Amino acid sequence: MYSAKVMDHFTNPRNVGEIPDADGIGAEGNPTCGDVMQIFIKVKDDTIVDAKFKTFGCGAAIAVSSMITEMIKGKTIDEALAISKETVANELGGLPAQKMHCSNLGADALKKAIEDYRNKKK
Amino acid sequence: MRKRYFDHVATNPLDVRVFDAMMPYFTEDFGNPLSIYDLGAKAKEAIEKARAHVASLINSKSSEIIFTSSGAEANNFALRGIALARQNEGKHVIVSKMEHHSILNSARFLEKMGFVVTFLPVDKYGIVAPDTVRKSITKETTLISIIHASSEVGTIEPIKEIGQIAKEKGIIFHTDAVAAAGNIPVDVKELGVDLLSMAAHQFYGPKGAGALYVREGLRIVPLIYGGIQENGRRAGTENVPAIVGMGRAAELAKDEMADRIEQAKKLRDKLIKGVSGIENIYLTGHPVPISRDSQRENRLPAHASFTVEFIEGEAMLLLLAAKGIYAASGSACSSKALKASPVLLSMGVSSNLAQGSIVFTLGAGSTEEDIDYLLSEFPQVIKRLREMSPYAKGWGMKGEGGECTVQK
């Protein structure tokens, strides 16, 4: 059902946890209808220097969380904002159709974390 | 890695003895039971022998057994067949919220045909109260269908009591005994049912073989029209090997039932006791009675089901499978339809908690060592997922997080 890359990120997720002094925190999803992802970012000179996640959800949701936290490290805020659900799914070698929208919460959670970072900076 | 199969409600391997009984009917004794020459007669004889064994398993007459392709077909047949046969007397059908999709969706089909269907609520253990059934009966009610035992939560329904009410009111009573027949004693006379569905693969017979018991003298509209097979009530050339397999499996189930139940209960109780020791985990379905003197248990002997807080079912299944443990879940994410189990929701389990559903079902091959292995691995799986879960530390209790991004 899942690609080898999804299974790898699910069974060996990268960047699990919280960043206590995070510059931005974003959450997306709802447990009633599926998965919930929480993303923490640390930003220095407009660049994401660290990212961690906490996720409640299925294999796909966990793999997406792991993948996106890997993808954004070292990226500028603008580069990170350009990441879409499709980009994450492609990096994972594809997701099953029914998981594409419900479990692919990474890009939305990331946008919220960046929003939070920008609000805090003001 | 050794495979530890804890998903016996999904299906079972074929018993080797059943396989042996079926073999000749694929290649040697392949005749059509309707053919008049000896090859046909041999096939006919084989299916009649199988019919007698299936009838004996549920204490019915052979002539009351109609073979079908599955439990789902038997359920469709019963609901549609009786509702249509009696539609001039009334157009109200009663089912419960514990039913399998083959009953629920047949009931919805009847609604579209102009019938009125009542979906009965259940208590927190998933029990349909006989009194609720009585109160739902109207002058228009022609059929009541209540599941015998739930494959999702293991709860056994008070079929006998509901049967008495149905009889008293002159209403036809069907039970979906797919998870029960072959696994616990099922006696159609004692239960007072008019129709009963069963499936062979639930008791080590082949897939693609089921049966509907229809009490003698009861009129039922066929689901499949065609030839005169099954007394004109279910057309189509009989699946002789599968029917033979179902017969042999029924014979073995009857002979070995007491031992199988005793063994299953012992392992189930060990499993429930062990898993219940984990924090924030709850048994779903009827609890096992504390006293073993209790004549009747309200839980299937091989069934243990739980909800695990803060984590999701599919993720548990995948991590367990990586350790050679195969189980089931009623979580939204693990279902192809992305909907949480309606059975759990109807029992009052919150949709969040239903996401953490996990079901372990035991079978003939299960050993004490399997349970020990499960009890050593399962807590680690839970711990690992909880470490990843934002909820485990109390976050989200006030509704943090966004709205559903998509409608499921």
Which residues of A have a CB under 8 Å from any CB of B?
7, 10-11, 13, 16, 27-36, 38, 53-59, 61-62, 98, 101-103, 105, 108, 112
Contact B311, B329 (CB under 8 A): no
Contact A58, B333 (CB under 8 A): yes
Nearest beta carbon to residue B408 from set A28, A33, A105: A33
- Cα A87 from chain centroid (whole Å): 12
Q: How far apart are CA B61 and CA B52, in angstroms?
A: 7
**B382, B385, B386, B391: CA torsion to nearest 10:** -130
Determine phi and psi for B116, rounding to 5 degrees: -105, 130
Amino acid at site B268: R
Burial of A109 (0-12, 13-18, 19+ CB in 10 A): buried
Q: How far apart are CA B280 and CA B276, in angstroms?
A: 9
C-alpha distances in Å from residue B385, one per residue of A36, A70, B59, B63, B328: 13, 19, 48, 53, 17
Token duo for residue B102 = 């083959």
State pLDDT tens for residues B42-100: 999 999 999 999 999 999 999 999 999 999 999 999 999 999 999 999 999 999 999 99
Q: At residue B402, does pLDDT exceed 70?
A: no
To the nearest whole percent, how much of chain B has pLDDT over 70? 94
* Interchain proximity B332–A101, CB inside 8 Å: no
- B15 sits in which H/E element: none
Locate the domains of chain A by residue range.
4-121
Burial of B287 (0-12, 13-18, 19+ CB in 10 A): middle
State pLDDT tens for residues A39-83: 999 999 999 999 999 999 999 999 999 999 999 999 999 999 999
B113: Cβ–Cβ under 8 A, 6 or more apart, which residues? none
Nearest CA in chain A to B408: A33
Angle between helices A4-11 and A59-72 (to 10 degrees): 90
- How would residue B292 be classed by pLDDT, with cut points 50, 70 and 90? low
pLDDT of residue A33: 64
* Interchain proximity B390–A55, CB inside 8 Å: yes
- Other CB atoms within 10 Å distance of the CB of residue B241: 23
State pLDDT tens for residues B135-144: 999 999 999 9
B388, B407, B408, best to mutate vs chain A, most A CBs in 10 Å: B388
Burial of B332 (0-12, 13-18, 19+ CB in 10 A): buried
- Over range B379-391, report the average pLDDT: 95
DSSP state of B286: P
State pLDDT tens for residues B336-367: 667 788 999 999 999 889 999 999 999 999 99
- CATH level 3 topology of A4-121: Sufe protein. Chain: A (3.90.1010)
- Other CB atoms within 10 Å distance of the CB of residue B275: 22
Q: Specify the 3-state DSSP secondary structure of B145.
A: strand
Q: Which residue from A66, A38, A58, A52 is spatially nearest to A102, judged by alpha carbons?
A: A58
Q: Specify the 3-state DSSP secondary structure of B44.
A: helix
pLDDT of residue B403: 41
- Over range B154-180, report the average pLDDT: 97
Token duo for residue B265 = 């209960």
Q: At residue B294, does pLDDT exceed 70?
A: no
Q: What is the ipTM for the molecules in this complex? A: 0.92
State pLDDT tens for residues B199-243: 999 999 999 999 999 999 999 999 999 999 999 999 999 999 999
All domains in chain B, ordered by first residue:
4-9+257-388 (3.90.1150.10), 16-253 (3.40.640.10)
Paired residues of B145 in beta bridges: B95, B174
B3: Cβ–Cβ under 8 A, 6 or more apart, which residues? B324, B326
C-alpha distances in Å from residue B187, one per residue of B60, B73, B160, B176: 8, 21, 10, 13
Evaluated on CA atoms B184, B186, B190, B195, the torsion sign reads: positive
Q: How far apart are CA B368 and CA B266, in angstroms?
A: 9
Which residues of B have a CB under 8 Å from any CB of A?
310-315, 318-319, 322, 331-334, 336, 338, 351-352, 355, 387-391, 395-396, 400-408
Q: How far apart are CA B147 and CA B133, in angstroms?
A: 13
DSSP state of B52: H
